[in-house]
Amino acid sequence: MLSYLGVSPISPAILSNTIDYINRYLNSNLLTIPISNFPGSFIENDGGPLFEILSFVSSKGSNFSWKFTGNEKGLPKVKKLYEQYNELIKMLKIEGAHLNHIRPEYLLSFTDLNLYLGNLPPEKAKFYMPSLLKIISVLYNYLSMESWITLLYQIFKIYVLARVSPKNFKQHLPNMPEVPPHYLQFSNFSSVSESILFFWCEQAVAEVLLEERRLTNFDKDFKDGTVIGALLQKYANVMALKKMKMLCSTDEDYKENASILCEHLA
């Protein structure tokens, strides 16, 4: 698969766990009609559940003029679905989503994707590697899962995370210290919303662990689980930290801390 992608693929275990988490989260919090599997249920329903989510998390309502609503079959339907996803991606990119690597056709079903690729005019087909003009099922499954996961996470980033603002932070947590001005200045690494979350987490670490930490990376700084442990202890009185290692030096240490957190959240 590496020869097709040009980069190392995400491991199947991580993809599977992510899919399971998204499926449970959507059914519990955002969808009025539960789905049986993500992204399969989105694909089977021509993206319908995705537009339900958009109408819930964004201020755009549910009026998307380019949303597929017809009764076409075969290639005419595939072309309209492609345009639907192409317009959706363009709209989200204008809003700030990082979706330059997501192709609209990878949001189609396996059959529809190969129908689309098999009918590309020469002026468009020339931009594809010959080996990618007919997708095998293994490659399709990977491209489809990665594309749908990325699309959904970017929607959460621009519409849900963006609700974390200085005004909302002060309104919902009036007893917290003011967010320092330098946290709110422009950064090419983290958004204002992300910087506010970092500051919020730092306050929990300072109160629970009695140490000053400057958090700047959601991967590196949260890897050992102690920041999550501090938040759980401060806001939910969950004492997971008592069993966790404060200094992790091996992968097993990180996994053990993660397992402890999961046990306390079960």
Triad 40, 152, 114: Cα angle to 5°: 45
Provide the pLDDT confidence category of residue 2 given band limits of 50, 70 and 90.
very low
Where is 239: in which H helix or E strand?
none
More confident residue, 223 or 61: 223
**Is residue 6 left, alpha or beta, with left meaning phi > 0 and alpha meaning psi from -120 to 50?**
left
Chain segment 16-42, per-residue pLDDT in tens: 989 999 999 999 999 999 999 999 999
Q: Residue 15 corresponds to which tokens in the numbers above?
A: 């993809």
> Helix crossing, 137-155 with 110-118: angle to 10°?
100
Where is 146: in which H helix or E strand?
helix 137-155
Chain segment 161-190, per-residue pLDDT in tens: 989 999 999 999 999 999 999 888 877 778
Residue recorded with tokens 């009025």: 32
Chain segment 187-201, per-residue pLDDT in tens: 777 889 999 999 999
Q: Mean pLDDT over residues 236-263, rounded?
A: 95
Please tell me the pTM assigned to this model.
Answer: 0.82
Question: Of 99, 70, 71, nearest to 85 (Cα)?
Answer: 99
